[in-house]
Structure 1
Amino acid sequence: MEPTEFAPRALSTLENWWQPRDLSADQCWHLAIGPLSMYLEHTAAEWLLGHQRQTEQDEVNRTLQEPLDSWPESLTPNRYVFRQPPSECQLLPCLMDRPVVVKTRQPVFIPPGESINFYISTPVCIRLMLGNELMLLELPVLRLSDTWFGPSTQIGELCYAAKTHARHNLAELPLRPHRAVTPLKITNRSQEMLTIGKISLPVPMLSVFAREDHTLWTEAVTLEHHTDQPLAKLKIERKLPIGISTTQRISSARQRPESNTLVRAFAGIFTD
């Protein structure tokens, strides 16, 4: 992938903001991905980097790059010193380092033997890469709240809580440049009604792919609930969602799931 030069312009909402680029020396640049703003500058011996983030209530659907005459007064940049700093940089999206808990739009009841499909978008993290290998830092686009997901304070795991919903219809899902979409299938293999109000999506086990329409996606995921197992059987599908190929992978999963992986996926499965 050949780096391109920065040009002072606002990007279209879903343009490929993750492409590697050459940043001209002694020029401060403002790059915005959703609610996250990053400020970059490189000189003959260092890179300067700072960032600001809007609140999640002000989550915006934008990508932007523009030159600045000076740094924002409220921002003190971090300095990274090199003998000869590379000029090429890349903002690389990856998924969060913990599972993300989302709500269904309303309680969902799945009878024995039935399945349901959801589409879930989760915010990405951004890795600032120099050259091909050096990562300066990693920042979440949104600062998500911590939440405990499990039947008690002794049983469960620490996750992130996302202010979004699992949607049954893809057409209802806003496609935003700072979020990756996961197609999720839930199958009830038990003999009882499965009730779902919240879903914990194991995003550390998923990769990020860039589709030709400039949207970000992950592999499709299947979760199976069985009567004799409080955890769900996780399957990350080898067949990628429609319109995506393996050549469009732009970041790999943080964790490699083992075969027959079991995860704590649903809230309230013991209430009915």
Structure 2
Amino acid sequence: MTENLWEETNTFEPQTTYKLSVGALELYINLLENEWTFRHSYLTQDETKTEKKIELSALKKNTRDDLDPLRFINANQQKTLQFRPRLANKSIVAKPYMPVFLPSQQTVTIYISTPIWLAIFFEGHKQPLLELPTFKLSDTWFGPRPHKGELCYSSRFSGRIDLKALPKRASRIITPVKITNNGADNLKLEKISIPCDYLAVYLNKNNELWTPTLSILREVDQNKTKVAIEKTLHPSLEQARRVGEPRVADPSRLLSKTIDMLFS
């Protein structure tokens, strides 16, 4: 178990194969003369079967030569890498396993977890060498019509509102989604879009990865429904450290969308 993977700078020995396991991802790392090679594979296509502990270890011999390598050459010999957790490079559309309704004039927080996108950096560099999902999500279209919307990833959620019932899964990032239904009728939560580009990642004292709270306010006039990223962090992030940056800076920290784009 690598407890501090997300905060450490990791040193690698030349001519040695290292294996990093995160979720379904198995990443094989080799340091050569002024060159890094990376090979990777996935253990499973079942998103619920990826609860192995995160582990980085040196192997006794080279393995997985059957996998195509990704080569990164550089002028100066670099012996260290940093691994950082990010959210997906597209929004994730999460669908409940069973129908979920929120009555009128109710507010509830649902906890949705999504797979880590593993970002690999040279120390001091802002742009990653490589990014890999720790689980391969399928694509889906999210929007009210074929010509209005965006290409996203598809995932599932259980709709847990009790934090104690949330499984401890080291390969996933928890996003609290606070939903307020000020509409006149029940709100059926058929799909929830997580705007991954806008969310930072925090590591709390329990070594859990979290994002800020995504707040969704549904008004009587559905066109005035809004999404906001709350500035105040969830109580579970007390003494948390910021370990992953959002892909897109949003100075206003406010995303406004219609109800069509939230629950289509």
TM superposition score normalised by structure 1: 0.86
Q: CA separation of 1:184/1:70 partners in 2, compared to 1, >3 Å: closer, same or farther?
A: same
Deviation at 1:242, TM superposition (A): 1.7
User: Which AA in structure 2 matches 1:127?
Assistant: A
Name the CA distance, whole Å, in 1 between partners of 2:10 and 2:80.
Answer: 5
1:215 aligned residue:
208
Distance 1:185 1:179 in 2: 19
How many residue pairs align between the two structures? 255
Matched, 1:261 2:261: no
Query: Amino acid of the residue matched to residue 17 of structure 1?
Result: L
Other-structure match for 2:57:
66
Deviation at 1:93, TM superposition (A): 0.7
**Cα distance in 2, alignment partners of residues 259 and 179 from structure 1:** 23
SS at match of 2:141: strand
Task: Name 1:17's counterpart in structure 2.
Answer: 5
Using the TM superposition, give the Cα deviation of residue 55 of structure 1 relative to its aligned residue in structure 2, in angstroms: 2.2
Aligned to 1:270: none
Query: Contact (CA 8 Å) 2:34, 2:78: kept in 1 or not?
Result: no
Quick check: 80-89 or 26-35, which moved more?
A: 80-89
Given candidates 87, 97, 116, the residue that maps to 2:89 is 97
Deviations 1:56-113 (A, max 9, x none): 3242422122222113131232222222221110111100122211123432332332
Would you say 1:108 and 2:64 are equivalent positions?
no
Give the letter aligned to residue 66 of structure 1: S
Give the conservation status (yes or no) of the 8 Å contact 1:102–1:166.
no
Name the structure 2 match of 1:117.
109
Partner of 1:4: none
Which residue number in structure 2 is paired with residue 8 of structure 1?
none
Change (3 A) 1:62 1:130: same
**Greater strand fraction, Structure 1 or Structure 2:** 1
Q: Which runs of 4+ in 1 moved over 4 A?
A: none
- 1 CA distance for matches of 2:186 and 2:223? 14
The Cα shift of 1:137 comes to 0.8
Q: 1:26, CA displacement in angstroms?
A: 1.9
Q: Which residue of 2 aligns with 1:132?
A: 124
CA distance in 1, matches of 2:162, 2:142: 26
Identity over aligned residues, as a percent?
31
**Aligned-partner residue type, residue 193 of structure 2:** S
Unaligned runs of 5+ in 1: 1-10, 268-272
1:120: Cα distance to partner? 0.5
Unaligned runs of 5+ in 2: none
TM score, norm. by length of structure 2: 0.88
- Matched residue SS, 2:99: strand
